[in-house]
């Protein structure tokens, strides 16, 4: 099944540098505290993306990784910023004043004239990976300055700077593994690490997030080092977790993880060891009242807070859930959910505030170093509430029309031909080759839709995602993350969400027409009926793939997931039956 996607953006390198310099100036004027520290980490993440993009651009030109003067300077810049983060973190966020490094002067030495391609690092955006944990892991590792630190791009370059800063080692080099996702290899200049290889006592630290399903990126660097005579005893791995690679790892890959030294620190131990470093402290300060309890509700734990028996719980896909907590502060409860470090979290904060101000989302307290704090609403889920059908359709139309009018974006999502390919592939796996051939012919008989204005779609229109408050007010939950997740879909025209609403709420033809009319009133343009028609089988096939993968990965959720899967299969079959007529 095709579910995942990676959305990259083109940026002018000079513009990213200008924004970084402006952010550095603002940090110098901020008071000490977690807000300043968070801004400093945001700057570090943003500059890491810039330096990674420049390194990748050089890789594309040269066809191999080289330790060029430009790459050395980029690594020096990241180490300088990593030292600033370390100083702030070690002081318990008491550091203040201007940055010790002259960032504008350092960036000015880089060639920033062209465009680069960047993408938000998954760890910083989705998985609550904090660069400070790599500082902690390096401090505890026993390694010293005689360590060659190697960062795996993209996110690994910045994380490697954190490790090098902690070890007082030279700035890191970086490599970009290439090839099949489960069989990566390194393409690098022969002399990339020659100076290090001359000393047999040198130790090597390989730094990245993950490992993922195979651990192939880490394994590629280990194999590359071993081909140059480096023994496994001298190779140390710095991943984001200790669980090892997933089900796609070969025996050779698993052997790498069992024989290399692993250094890893988690979020709780890293921050709880610092004064004022606990998440509960941050939330309490934001809410101006002490947090009496902070309880984790990730991985579907939030369902225990619903007034429903377990048999009626909504289905979940734990792999796609952000880390989240429930905070009790005074007489109120608040949802504390990871929204992302860097620009990712800031964008979601802005969207959450806009949704609340428009009457569609819960109250928002703010952002605490990557965690968004929203009011926990005590209300019934839509699928368990008595809401008139007509009123639901009108509310959905206003909500989706508002998103189209107010959440426009230049960020891209999957192209329409990629959506069609996904739909055919998922249909093949779910319904068989014959039905998939019908769907392929259906797409081929229609022109690919014209590009439409992209918006921050909701992406989750399922009934359990809506709350009906005691006063009858309807609110939308979980409407911030899915257009910027690592799903294939990304930002799309609002017709994607309209198709989702029609399917998820089983709207009749009359109800669908009413929904479109309400959306048109709110967004002041017509719904593209051809695009809407094109996206409906795409939506069905994507949801079918999503929940099928969830069942394969989490058998314990089968009772909730199988009815959803059967429903999407039946709806896709009916669509194809109707297409024959």
Q: In three state form, how does the secondary structure of 70-117 look? A: HHHHHHHHHHHHHHHHHHHHHCCCCCCCCCCCCHHHHHCCCCCCCEEE
Supply the pTM of this predicted model. Answer: 0.93
User: How far from 565 is each of 243, 285, 303, 353, 569, CA to CA, in Å?
Assistant: 29, 44, 20, 34, 6
Q: How far apart are CA 466 and CA 468, in angstroms?
A: 7
Instruction: Quote the crossing angle between the two packed helices 433-444 and 529-553, to the nearest 10°.
Output: 150
Mention every residue, 6+ apart, whose C-beta is less than 8 A from residue 422: 2, 414, 488, 538, 541, 542, 545
* Lookup: tokens for 483: 């257009």
Question: Average pLDDT of the chain?
Answer: 94
Mention every residue, 6+ apart, whose C-beta is less than 8 A from residue 441: none
Average pLDDT of span 154-166? 97
Between 118 and 64, where is the model more confident?
Answer: 64
Whether the per-residue pLDDT at 277 is higher than 80: the answer is no
Apex CA 484: angle with CA 482 and CA 36, to 5°? 115
Contact present, 71 and 174 (Cβ < 8 Å): yes
Q: What is the pLDDT of residue 19?
A: 96
Contact present, 161 and 65 (Cβ < 8 Å): no
In this structure, what DSSP letter does residue 319 have?
A: G
Q: How far apart are CA 224 and CA 228, in angstroms?
A: 7
Whether the per-residue pLDDT at 386 is higher than 90: the answer is no
Q: How far apart are CA 342 and CA 347, in angstroms?
A: 9
User: Peptide bond before 154: cis, by omega within 30 degrees of 0?
Assistant: yes
Whether the per-residue pLDDT at 448 is higher than 70: the answer is yes
Q: What is the pLDDT of residue 274?
A: 66
Q: Which domains does the chain have, with CATH numbers?
A: 9-269 (no CATH), 380-580 (3.90.1200.10)
Whether the per-residue pLDDT at 276 is higher than 70: the answer is no
pLDDT digits (tens, 9 = 90+) for 490-523: 999 999 999 999 999 999 999 999 999 999 999 9
Average pLDDT of span 389-398? 97
Confidence grade of residue 579 (pLDDT, cut at 50, 70, 90): confident
pLDDT digits (tens, 9 = 90+) for 515-557: 999 999 999 999 999 999 999 999 999 999 999 999 998 888 9
Whether the per-residue pLDDT at 478 is higher than 70: the answer is yes
Q: What is the pLDDT of residue 581?
A: 63
Whether the per-residue pLDDT at 94 is higher than 80: the answer is yes
Burial (CB count within 10 angstroms: exposed 0-12, middle 13-18, buried 19+), residue 17: buried
Burial (CB count within 10 angstroms: exposed 0-12, middle 13-18, buried 19+), residue 377: middle
Mention every residue, 6+ apart, whose C-beta is less than 8 A from residue 35: none
SS3 356: helix
What number of other Cβ atoms are within 10 A of residue 66's Cβ? 18
pLDDT digits (tens, 9 = 90+) for 228-258: 999 999 999 999 999 999 888 999 999 989 9
Confidence grade of residue 271 (pLDDT, cut at 50, 70, 90): confident
């Amino acid at each position: 099944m095709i579910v995942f996607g990676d959305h990259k953006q083109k940026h002018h390198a000079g513009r990213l540098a200008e924004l970084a310099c402006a952010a550095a100036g603002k940090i110098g004027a901020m008071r000490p505290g977690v807000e300043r520290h968070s801004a400093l980490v945001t700057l570090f993440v943003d500059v890491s993306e810039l330096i990674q993009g420049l390194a990748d651009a050089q890789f594309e030109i040269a066809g191999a990784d080289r330790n060029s003067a430009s790459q050395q300077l980029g690594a020096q810049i990241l180490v300088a910023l990593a030292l600033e983060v370390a100083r702030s973190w070690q002081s318990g966020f008491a550091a203040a004043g201007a940055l010790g490094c002259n960032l504008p002067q350092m960036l000015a030495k880089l060639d920033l004239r062209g465009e680069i391609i960047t993408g938000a690092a998954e760890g910083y955006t989705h998985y609550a990976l904090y660069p400070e944990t790599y500082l902690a892991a390096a401090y505890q590792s026993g390694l010293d300055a005689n360590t060659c630190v190697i960062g795996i791009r993209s996110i690994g370059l910045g994380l490697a700077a954190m490790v090098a800063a902690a070890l007082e080692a030279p700035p890191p080099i970086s490599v970009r593994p290439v090839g099949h996702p489960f069989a990566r290899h390194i393409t690098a200049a022969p002399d990339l690490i020659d100076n290090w290889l001359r000393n047999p006592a040198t130790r090597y630290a390989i730094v990245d997030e993950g490992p993922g399903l195979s651990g192939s990126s880490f394994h590629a660097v280990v194999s590359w080092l071993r081909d140059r005579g480096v023994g496994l005893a001298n190779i140390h791995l710095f991943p984001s977790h200790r669980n090892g690679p997933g089900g796609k790892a070969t025996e050779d890959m698993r052997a790498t993880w069992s024989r290399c030294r692993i250094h890893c620190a988690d979020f709780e131990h890293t921050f709880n060891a610092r004064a004022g470093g606990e998440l509960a402290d941050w939330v309490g300060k934001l809410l101006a009242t002490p947090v009496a309890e902070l309880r984790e509700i990730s991985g579907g734990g939030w369902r225990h807070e619903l007034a429903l028996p377990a048999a009626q719980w909504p289905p979940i896909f734990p792999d796609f859930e952000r880390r989240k907590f429930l905070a009790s502060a005074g007489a109120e409860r608040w949802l504390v959910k990871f929204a992302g470090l860097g620009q990712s979290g800031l964008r979601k904060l802005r969207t959450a505030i806009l949704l609340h101000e428009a009457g569609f989302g819960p109250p928002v307290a703010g952002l605490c170093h990557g965690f968004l704090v929203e009011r926990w609403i005590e209300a019934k889920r839509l699928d368990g509430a008595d809401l008139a059908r007509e009123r639901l359709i009108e509310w959905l139309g206003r909500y989706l029309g508002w998103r189209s009018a107010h959440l426009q974006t230049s960020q891209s999502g999957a192209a329409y031909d990629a959506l069609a390919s996904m739909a055919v592939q998922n249909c093949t796996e779910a319904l068989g080759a014959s039905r998939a051939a019908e769907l392929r012919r259906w797409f081929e008989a229609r022109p690919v839709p014209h590009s439409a204005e992209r918006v921050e779609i909701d992406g989750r229109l399922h009934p359990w995602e809506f709350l009906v408050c005691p006063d009858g007010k309807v609110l939308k939950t979980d409407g911030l993350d899915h257009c910027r997740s690592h799903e294939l879909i990304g930002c799309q025209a609002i017709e994607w969400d309209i198709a989702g609403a029609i399917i998820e709420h089983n709207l009749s033809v009359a109800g669908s027409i009413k929904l479109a009319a309400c959306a048109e009133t709110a967004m002041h343009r017509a719904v593209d009926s051809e695009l809407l028609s094109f996206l409906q089988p795409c939506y069905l096939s994507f949801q079918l793939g999503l929940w099928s993968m969830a069942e394969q990965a989490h058998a314990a959720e089968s009772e909730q997931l199988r009815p959803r899967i059967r429903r999407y299969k039946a709806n896709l079959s009916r669509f194809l039956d109707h297409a024959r007529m």
